[in-house]
Amino acid sequence: MSTRWQKWKQNRRAAWLAYIALAVLLAALPFLTGAALGRGWVRILDFTLLYVMLALGLNIVVGYAGLLDLGYIAFYAVGAYMYALLASPHFNLHLPFWALLPLGAGLAGIFGILLGAPTLRLRGDYLAIVTLGFGEIIRIFLNNLNAPVNITNGPQGVNLIDPVSIGDFSFSRTHSLFGVDFPGIYTYYYLFLALALLVIFVSLRLQNSRIGRAWVAIREDEVAAEAMGINTRNIKLLAFATGASFAGISGGLFAGFQGFISPESFNLFESIIVLCMIVLGGMGNIPGVILGAVLLTIFPEALRYLGELQNALFGRILVDPSDLRMLIFGLALILIMIFRPAGLLPSVRRQREFGSDASVLAQEQASLYDTQR
């Protein structure tokens, strides 16, 4: 396999061909999906891309730097509310999109530092519970800041948010190009795709940079990292800020795309789902994280067809499909983790860790127990 693999690597023409094929597929995807499954599924594709961005952001915090964050969705909320409040009739402000997106990313980044600063000394699960608390605090404030001064409009949420538009080009309208109609959800797809690619690119570049290696060093052994001259405080804060800013971008896009946001979209369960995406796909590994995000967004939607399946098999619906959906989802989480604990596409580094010493350890363990019994 390995010689073939090398041969293949040399065969750059084939590699280019594959990349072009991938590009064509990504470009044609909304049309394919729209034609085969209907436009409702194109909307799901759009959401998938938002989750890809979210998951890649959390991957920096948890996957690279090893800081367990259970309140990540708060930064998504900050980005979304930033966009919503500055581009809606709520304050009668209508800032342009190109200003909103960096603002949302920046503010989320600042919140990331706000969360990171007091928690620098905390480790592992203590950090987990504090981040969880932080996420809940943000949500509770968003839900209640409608009195005495109405800032967020409370549980009613913010409505009539401006759609994303650059200049006169509004992403929510149908555009025609070469006689092909691009409805709003299609143009949004291309915008989200472009930004997701940007986030992927930044993640890739960070991974192998000085900062990326510093993150991994902290994850593996914080004391040793500090001894090697890494400023662990700044590097940790940078991880929080970078991860949060990705979520801020994603949140802003969500607000513009949906046109309506309310605090109930940013609950703890969303944080947990995003964490599941990266662990399931393979923490620290970008293709794995993307796979995790795609699977966990599409899978529950696909399970909606369970009702139709039951109808076809038994002629009637035996069990409410939405009840089964979450049950199957939970079972899938357990099974995947038992059989692939490092995720579906583990990072090379982790794979190596598992390949060698873990199995050796397990063997040692087993032989020890044998003698004991």
Residues 220-239 that bind another protein (CB under 8 A): 221-224
The H-or-E segment that residue 180 falls in is strand 180-182
Q: Of 112, 101, 118, 103, whose CA–CA distance to 138 is shortest?
A: 112
* Residue list 171-200, contact with another protein (CB under 8 A): 172, 184-185
DSSP for 77-101 reads HHHHHHHHHHEETTTTEE--HHHHH
Shortest gap between Cβ of 206 and another protein (angstroms)? 20
Torsion sign over Cα 103, 286, 331, 309: positive
| 255, 150 contact by CB (below 8 A) | no
Q: Which of 44, 103, 151, 200 touches another protein by CB under 8 A?
A: 44
Least distance in angstroms from the C-beta of 294 to another protein: 14
Task: Tell me the C-alpha distance between 189 and 48, whole Å.
Answer: 10
CA–CA distance, 359 with 169 (Å, rounded to integer): 57
Among 55, 215, 321, 347, binds another protein (CB under 8 A): 321
Indicate the residue among 99 and 335 with the shorter CB distance to another protein: 335
The conformation of residue 64, written as its DSSP 8-state character, comes to I
# residues near another protein by CB under 8 A: 104
154 binds another protein (CB under 8 A): yes
Handedness of CA 37, 39, 42, 46 (dihedral sign): negative
Q: How far is CA 266 from the centre of its chain?
A: 14
Interface mask toward another protein for 255-274; x: CB under 8 A: ---xxx-x-xx--x---x--
Residue choice 93, 94, 98, 126 for contact with another protein (CB under 8 A): 126
Q: Based on CB atoms, which residue is closest to another protein, 102 or 174?
A: 174
The one among 198, 341, 355, 356 contacting another protein by CB under 8 A? 341
| Joined tokens for residue 343 | 């995720």
Nearest to 219, CA basis, from 344, 108, 353, 76: 353
Interacting positions 4-33 with another protein (CB under 8 A): 4-5, 8, 14-15, 17-18, 21-22, 24-25, 28-29, 31-32
**CB-wise, 139 or 244, nearer to another protein?**
139
Please calculate the CA angle 195-197-198 and round it to the nearest 5 degrees.
60
* Residues 200-219, interacting with another protein (CB under 8 A): none
Q: Judged by CB under 8 A, which of 99, 194, 318, 327 binds another protein?
A: 327
The only residue of 320, 352, 355, 367 in contact with another protein, by rule CB under 8 A = 320
Separation CA 106–CA 72 (nearest Å) = 15
Asked if 360 touches another protein (CB under 8 A), the answer is no
Q: Is 166 in the site for another protein (CB under 8 A)?
A: no
Based on the shown chain and the rule CB under 8 A, indicate whether residue 308 belongs to the binding site for another protein.
no
Smallest gap from Cβ 207 to another protein, in A, equals: 17
How far CA 323 is from CA of 37, 256, 259, 307, 320, in Å, comes to 23, 31, 29, 11, 5
Closest contact distance (angstroms) between CB of 229 and another protein is 17
Q: Does 355 bind another protein (CB under 8 A)?
A: no
Phi, psi of 92 (to 5 degrees): 55, 40
Smallest separation, CB 123 to another protein (Å): 6
The reply to whether 283 sits near another protein by the rule CB under 8 A is yes
**Of residues 71-110, those binding another protein (CB under 8 A):** none
* Closest of 83, 122, 116, 79 to residue 241, by C-alpha: 116
